[in-house]
Amino acid sequence: MAELNSARRPRVHVAVFVCVALVTLVIDRVTKLMALESLSTDSSIPVVPGLLSLRLLHNPGASLGMGSSATWVISLFAMIVGVGLLVAGVITTSTPWALALSLAFSGAVGNLIDRVIYADGFLDGSVVDFLDYGWSVGNVADIWLVVAGVALVALILRSVPFRDTGREDDHAAGRRTTNEHEER
Which residues are known to be catalytic? Answer: 129, 142
Which ranges constitute the DSSP H helices of the chain? 2-38, 71-91, 95-117, 140-157, 167-172, 178-183
Dist CA 158 CA 167 (whole Å): 22
Total Cβ atoms within 10 A of residue 36:
13
Query: CA dist 36 to 92, 107, 131, 157, Å?
Result: 36, 18, 12, 39
Of 23, 12, 8, nearest in space to 105 by CA: 23
Half-sphere exposure of 71 (CA within 13 A, CB side): 23
Dist CA 126 CA 116 (whole Å): 8
Half-sphere exposure of 157 (CA within 13 A, CB side): 6
What is the arrangement of strands in the sheet containing 127-132, beginning at the earlier edge strand? 45-48, 52-59, 127-132, 137-138
